[in-house]
Amino acid sequence: MNYKVAKILNSNAVLAQDEEENQVVLMSKGIGFGKKVGERLHDDAEDRKIFYIHDDSVNSAKLKQIDSQVQQVEEVTREIVEVARERLHIDNSKLYGALLDHITFAVECLHMGLPIDNPFCGEIAILYSQEYETAQIAAEIIKERIGVEIGDGETGFIALHLYSARKNRHIRAAMKSTRVYSEILNMVGRTIGKELDNTHAPAKSFLLSLHCLVTLTMNHNPIVMKLNQQVKLSLLDSYKVALRVSKMIFEEMDVQLSEDAISFIAVDIEKLKQL
């Protein structure tokens, strides 16, 4: 079915008319972004939520309810941005818009009973601990102001938004890096025959060390391992695994680690083997 936009409610909701001129509210992530009144929409989104409005009284009540929800989320988002500025010193003009869209859609999903899946929540909490702690505060604010418990998965996504704004990176890049670190941890565990659970201290330490080496490399800061040659000779098996780690980072993140950085990774892998 085709719809004609009558009013933009927010970036995730529009008031529209269907082919029989019935008024409807269409809700889907990004549906209102860049749209104009009179523009045609096609009903081709699987996750779209449609409210049919049959008379003026229902129309008015429903729009007031949606407007109220929009205002609540806007106020909550502004409060979260202010907390992020105070705790993380984030001064990124794009953060408010990104969080507003994300929180609006997340709240709608949770209202509909749709779970929010985040398979890398553990890695996010480790790698971006300051952002995750601030996201936990955001989760409490959302619970208190809107009455919705967003859960660990959504808390992780908010933390990623905060990290991306803080480092001026696209959230997709941050999510991809997190996935790569998770896959590296699994690969190393399989290779050395260890169950590396990211809730355990040794695995956390490995992830943090790896993230630090990658960050230093991306920022063109020198990494010096004075025992580089000794590591290659005495920890040959671990060094070979470290080379595989370096290859994954280069192929997935386009970051070329130095031999010294690879030696540091080899030492970390050797530590994991000794557990």
Is the distance from CB of 127 to CB of 211 less than 8 angstroms?
yes
2-54: CATH topology is Transcription Regulation, Sacy; Chain A (2.30.24)
Decide: helix, strand or coil at residue 3.
strand
**Residue 248 and residue 225: Cα distance in Å, rounded?**
21
**Residue 34 and residue 32: Cα distance in Å, rounded?**
6
Strand order of the β-sheet with 13-17 is: 40-42, 2-10, 13-17, 23-27, 49-53
Pairing of strands 23-27, 40-42: unpaired
Is the distance from CB of 226 to CB of 267 less than 8 angstroms?
no
Is the distance from CB of 54 to CB of 33 less than 8 angstroms?
no
In order of 56, 68, 252, the CA distances from 65 in angstroms are: 14, 5, 45
**Residue 174 and residue 170: Cα distance in Å, rounded?**
7
CATH of range 177-273; options 1.10.10.60, 1.20.120.450, 1.10.1790.10, 3.40.50.720: 1.10.1790.10
| pLDDT given for residue 28 in this prediction | 74
**Residue 104 and residue 27: Cα distance in Å, rounded?**
10
Please tell me whether the overall predicted TM-score, pTM, comes out greater than 0.95 for this model: no
Sign of CA dihedral 34, 37, 40, 43: positive
Burial 94-132 (b: 16+ CB within 10 A, else e): ebbebbbbbbbbbbbbbeeeeebebebbbbbbbbbeebb
**Residue 205 and residue 229: Cα distance in Å, rounded?**
24
Query: What does 240-272 look like in DSSP terms, one character per residue?
Result: HHHHHHHHHHHHHH-----HHHHHHHHHHHHHH
Provide the residue ranges of all domains of the chain, joining segments of one domain with +.
2-54, 66-169, 177-273
Q: Consecutive sets of 10 residues in the chain, 275 residues long: mean pLDDT of each? A: 79 77 75 81 65 55 63 92 96 91 82 78 96 97 92 94 94 93 96 92 96 96 92 95 98 96 97 90
Please report which helix (H) or strand (E) contains residue 122, including its range: helix 121-127
The CATH code of the domain at 66-169 is 1.10.1790.10
| pLDDT given for residue 209 in this prediction | 97
**Residue 240 and residue 211: Cα distance in Å, rounded?**
19
| pLDDT given for residue 248 in this prediction | 97
* The amino acid at 7: K
Q: Do domains 66-169 and 177-273 have the same CATH topology?
A: yes
242: which 2 tokens?
């470290």
